[in-house]
Amino acid sequence: MRSALATDSDLLNAIEDRGYRITSTRRVIAGAIEESPDGFTAEQICGRVPGVGRATVYRAIKLFHEVEVICKMALPDGAPRYAVDTGGRHHHHTICTGCGAVQDFRASTIERVLKAIEADVDGQITGHRMEIYVTCQTCLASAD
Amino acid sequence: MRSALATDSDLLNAIEDRGYRITSTRRVIAGAIEESPDGFTAEQICGRVPGVGRATVYRAIKLFHEVEVICKMALPDGAPRYAVDTGGRHHHHTICTGCGAVQDFRASTIERVLKAIEADVDGQITGHRMEIYVTCQTCLASAD
DNA sequence: ATATTACTGAGACAAAGTATCGTCAATCGC
DNA sequence: GCGATTGACGATACTTTGTCTCAGTAATAT
Ligand SMILES: [Zn+2]
Ligand SMILES: [Zn+2]
Ligand SMILES: [Zn+2]
Ligand SMILES: [Zn+2]
């Protein structure tokens, strides 16, 4: 039952709800992820959890992604970046190409347009991906 | 001058216009790419140009991408896929997750919404990425 | 024809994972 | 509580999608 294992971590709660185990290793990894408000890469997490195997970090990230508590996005060159999924509802991200800071955004207009496009498309739409690349205020200010 | 080297290949013409050389190796690679109406992966091209080094294929693809005669996109899992850029104008792609077939699409509404979003964004928009994933008619029909 | 420069192939290296496997730990049944 | 079962772990090899280096070769310039 949840009460015995309850944590204040949304990441851990999410995997527990799906029947995965909460282990000390996963606690540590979840902690490192939750300390990354602006997004993170898998290797950054590896660097912050010494003693934990790289494969285990990748397995945990994959798990958190599967249960939809972290978002995976792509930089302009395709390099992956992750961020904690704070909302839950369908959304997209702005990513600063200078510092990597990630912010969520929702644009219902875009979702409606996508729905309307379905008529023009050969086949059935099964999903979409969208990222907006920005230079954030901090990077703009420091680039004088 | 162009006349001495003129080809019927948009890919080769594009790199020649930027001062790169047209070599027999690049002719072969461009030929293989232009035989791929539904998109291709780099490794598929490697497989179709025996005798050409893998690094050379990747260098050529990068070059064609830089001069904007091929488009690079991402499958849902992030795996890269390429397609010949037949239009030139800004556009996005629908990609069939069954067979990989790529089609261009333009949606001026989306571009306008993106422009409007700039006001809500922390910083300056520098670019965006969007892909629509579909199951194409052919794959729908053969999945009975 | 020679000099210059770009291009090429081989192979090492890199980033972002995934697969295998023997060991170990968390949970379940009693 | 205690052993059995199942899942998780770490190490390491392997895969994919490239990039880098370097010596040799082809294309252009004069
Ligand atoms: Zn998000
Ligand atoms: Zn959306
Ligand atoms: Zn295109
Ligand atoms: Zn666009």
Residues A39-67: pLDDT tens digits? 999 999 999 999 999 999 999 999 999 99
Collect all residues with Cβ–Cβ distance below 8 Å to A64 and sequence separation of at least 6: A11, A14, A15, A30, A33, A70
Chain B's closest residue to A117, CA to CA, is B107
User: Given this structure, which CATH class describes domain A10-143?
Assistant: mainly alpha
Quick one: which ligand is closest to B95's CA? 3
Overall average pLDDT of the B38-60 stretch: 97
CA distance A12 to A70: 12
Overall average pLDDT of the B41-51 stretch: 97
- CA separation, residue A121 to residues A103, B83, B131 (Å): 30, 17, 13
Give me ligand 1 centre to Cα A16, in Å.
21
Nucleotides of C under 7 A from a protein CB: 6-12, 15-20, 25-27
Q: Could you say which of B109, B129, B137 has the minimum Cβ distance to residue A123?
A: B137
- Between residues B6 and B125, the one the model is more confident about: B125
Overall average pLDDT of the B40-67 stretch: 98
Q: Do B121 and A132 touch (CB under 8 A)?
A: yes
Going from N- to C-terminal start, the domains of chain B cover 10-143
Q: Could you say which of A126, A132, A134 has the minimum Cβ distance to residue B97?
A: A126
Q: Is the pLDDT of residue A4 over 70?
A: no
Q: Which of residues 50-89 of A touch strand C (CB under 7 A)?
A: 54-55, 58, 61-62, 79-80
Q: Do B94 and A123 touch (CB under 8 A)?
A: yes
Residues of B in contact with A114 (CB under 8 A): 110, 132
- CA separation, residue A10 to residues A39, A69, A86, B69, B143 (Å): 16, 7, 9, 45, 38
Q: Do B113 and A109 touch (CB under 8 A)?
A: yes
Overall average pLDDT of the A78-100 stretch: 94
- Between residues A143 and B65, the one the model is more confident about: B65
What is the pLDDT, as a whole number, of residue B5? Answer: 44
Instruction: Specify burial of residue A67 (Cβ count, 10 A radius: 0-12, 13-18, 19+).
Output: middle
* A6: confidence class by pLDDT, cuts 50, 70, 90: low
What is the pLDDT, as a whole number, of residue A43? Answer: 97
Q: Is the pLDDT of residue B4 over 60?
A: no
**Chain B: residues touching A (Cβ < 8 Å):** 72, 74, 76, 78, 80, 94, 96-97, 103, 105, 107, 109-110, 113-114, 117, 120-137, 139-140
The residue with tokens 């996963």 is A26
